[in-house]
Structure 1
């Protein structure tokens, strides 16, 4: 008896140790085996639809991000346009602090007049194509009324995405010391925005999902600001991987997203490309090397490697069941089981040498579903579970909400509650079936 009790206690302790250790494994992304592939302080590559991490090097370390900040700022601007809070043709005027900043041509800026007014559209284009700092600040004030309120909105947006360790002190990504009187009150004089490569990829993921039209602007290599006026200035996109610019590669049709440069951040770049039916997002933080193109050189290596070594695999069409996960038990239902299937096309992103037989599945029942059983009545379209799919041996994980959601499985039929007599006879049948 004592031996039995000791065995039970040991088993319980082992289970508790396993249960306690599991969450720690998902705190940060695992490192890729070939971390030497990218010569930078940190890097990550993801597939944005699923959030699958395809490469990770120091991806969870919080580092300066410079003007890549503007992707988050533009997300909020496009949110405001989408909701009707502001319009593309709305005019924006300057205050003294932003006007003075706009005159500093050592920073990325387009020429702005103190008494001028500018449309949301032209400020938006200048912010994305030329990384114009004063233009971005004008948009922030148009949306929120002040830089301070806009920064609060930026932080709130990140928190809503589960990003809680970023530091946001301004809307542009400049070091606060460069903003002078335009600095957000109460922020450190020498602070600048910081975020991990993994979280930066998640910002880009949300931007493309929420506002895919942003690619129409981020893919513009050259454009003239205020064309036909005395203030006209040619804007060449700082993303030199676009067609017609110095780091263009015909094998990588890059169409975004945003560069960033500062003394603390070094040369950074969040890029995106779609090829062979798969879009990827890459983030390079503080690229190393002597060449002026170092961030693009490292991005090219990363994009090429990922596109060669990963692929998308269709597991099922919308409404089509996935073998082994195609039904759920219904307690007291007219039918004992009801079919379940993904509500949209189910796609997994896996290494290029993967087959369906080599995949592993993690099935997580939804709230109210216990032991793969749901109580009747159950309506068509009820969420039953999330199915996370990966290749065996792949431990890189996911970013953002995709990490917990995976493929959503829903009921494809309604199963009403069985009547009293059906349940009585079913119970009798089960009783004798269990006896024999």
Structure 2
């Protein structure tokens, strides 16, 4: 059954072991792109080498720079000696760059070369164009990773190459250092990239494109992601895949961050350190198959839900003595097929508004959030939480007051006090009389 996600995902206090998918990868993770819920993980926090998946950070910073007006897609880019030399290294993925190009290369041209063909010289040129130097850009990469909440990472260059491949031109770290990221950090980067700049897929999904078409420097770029529809490398197409980035070096092995969309549901998978180029696509397909074949979307709680025994809350010092409370939105969750009955609603009340007796104090405004409704999970299936804290916080809906309750005036409050006084006396008298008999 295919996933169709439209709303919130559950919270749970339980965590369970991942199913054995027989993945031939050192690490892997699968995330729902809309909600950020993690559907599968294997060695997700192990620090590995992302290789050219690093370029997703370059893409994020490039889109951000364009959004902020620092550069445009048509901005001409000067090719430095460093970028020129790397672009002419035939042992690396590249399009050859000229320092006397006429017309000058644009940001868009170089971005396409980096996103489709993983061109390293083009990536370095973009880093220099954005930050003034690749050294400055590496600092931006590490700063942005921290801002996005990545935990296990270290960037020493913009490309994902081994520093030794840069022939002494590495911008940071030692000559034998390499970029490092966990699968969790990698998928979190992809999650933010797709969430904040989904237009990246317009380029990442291009199977073939000619660089500098019609010139002596024309270069036919075949996308390294063989899972994309129309890729000339046949046999690895996966329905719905439209990105995102591959990576490989001799030390990193073969990795891919893949994303697919089917029936309105987008998944993001990361597999790291497989043994061969075909293997990364085969293992990614296993992971995506697991997501699409085993999970479903289900509305567990409808909008307007009232908590059992708490359809109203008492109000003190108000014109009315109680107010109706209920949810304003439904709760839907991504769940393993057949586990609908293992999710139950749970209310948490707002301690800032309710006193120790569970009472509200007037005035109360319609729409005031008096509590939060989440779901608890009692099954034994896989439940790995969320890729960000923000996603986890959204996996709930507010319980709100359904009407205004104005504060009662002094006369009403006084009469209630008097009434309560005599009511207590009468109750005591009744109890006493009962005691006589």
User: TM-score normalised by the shorter chain: which range applies?
Assistant: 0.7 to 0.9
- Matches of 1:262 and 1:153 in 2, distance apart? 24
Kept in 2, the 8 Å contact 1:338–1:415? The answer is no
Residue number in structure 2 paired with 1:86: 71
How much does 1:362 deviate?
6.0
Partner Cα distance (1:234, 1:383) in 2:
60
| Residues 273-422 of structure 1: pairs in structure 2 closer than 5 A | 273-288=260-275, 292-315=277-300, 320-322=303-305, 324=307, 329=313, 332=316, 336-337=322-323, 339=325, 341=327, 346-355=331-340, 357-361=341-345, 368=352, 376-378=363-365, 380=367, 384-385=371-372, 387=374, 390=377, 392-393=379-380, 394-401=382-389, 402-409=391-398, 411=400, 415=404, 417-421=406-410
* Contact in 1 for aligned 2:345/2:376 (Cα 8 Å): yes
Q: Which moved more, 1:189-198 or 1:308-317?
A: 308-317
Deviation track 1:27-75 (CA, whole Å, cap 9, x = no partner) reads: xx854031x5211101111112111111111112121111111112201
- Assess if the C-alpha contact under 8 Å between 1:163 and 1:199 holds in 2: yes
Mapped to 2, the partners of 1:267 and 1:366 lie a distance apart of 49
**CA shift for structure 1 position 214:** 1.1
Separation of aligned partners in 2, 1:191 and 1:247: 35
| Residues 1:193 and 2:146 are matched in the alignment | no
With 241-250 and 328-337 compared, the bigger mean Cα shift is at: 328-337
Matching of residues 36-47 of structure 1 within 5 Å: 36-47=21-32
User: Rg bigger for which structure?
Assistant: 2
RCO higher in 1 or 2 (8 Å CA, sep ≥ 6)?
A: 2
Question: 1:235 aligned to 218, 221, 225, which one?
Answer: 221
2:258 matched to 1:271? yes
Mark the CA change 1:293 to 1:384 in structure 2 (over 3 Å): closer, same or farther. same
Moved more, 405-414 or 111-120: 405-414
Give yes or no for the alignment of 1:209 onto 2:192: no
Residue 386 of structure 1 contacts residue 406 of structure 1 at CA under 8 Å; is this kept in 2?
no
CA deviation vs aligned residue, 1:231-271 (integer Å, no higher than 9, x gap): 11000000001113335566622111110101221000010
**1:92–1:313: structure 2 CA closer, same or farther, 3 Å change rule?**
same
Deviations 1:292-332 (A, max 9, x none): 30100111111112211011223467xx3345399785865
Q: How many residues align?
A: 401
Distance (whole Å) between structure 2 residues aligned to residue 108 and residue 256 of structure 1: 18
1:64 to 24, 49, 61: 49
Cα gap change, 1:169 to 1:251, in 2 (>3 Å) = closer
Summarize the Cα distance change of 1:350–1:257 in structure 2 as closer, same or farther, 3 Å threshold: same
Indicate the SS of the match to 2:136.
helix
User: Is contact 1:60-1:197 (8 Å) kept?
Assistant: yes
TM-score by length of 1: 0.81
Which secondary structure does the structure 2 equivalent of 1:298 belong to?
helix
Shift of 1:426: 6.7
The two structures, once aligned, show a CA RMSD in angstroms of 3.2
- Provide TM-score, normalisation by structure 2: 0.81
State the SS of the aligned residue for 1:37: coil
**Alpha-carbon spacing, 1:331–1:69, altered in 2? closer, same or farther (3 Å):** farther
Q: Unaligned 5+ residue runs, structure 1?
A: 1-24
Task: Name the CA distance, whole Å, in 1 between partners of 2:264 and 2:400.
Answer: 29
Contact 2:27/2:42 (<8 A) preserved: yes
- Per the TM alignment, residue 201 of structure 1 is displaced from its structure 2 partner at its CA by 1.1
Task: Note if contact 1:348-1:389 (Cα within 8 Å) is conserved in structure 2.
Answer: no
Match of 2:154 in 1: 167
CA, structure 1 residues 423+87, in 2 after alignment: closer, same or farther (shift >3 Å)?
farther
Residues 334 and 105 (structure 1), Cα distance of their counterparts in 2 relative to 1, 3 Å cut:
farther
3-state SS, counterpart of residue 273 of structure 1: strand
The corresponding residue for 2:125 is 138
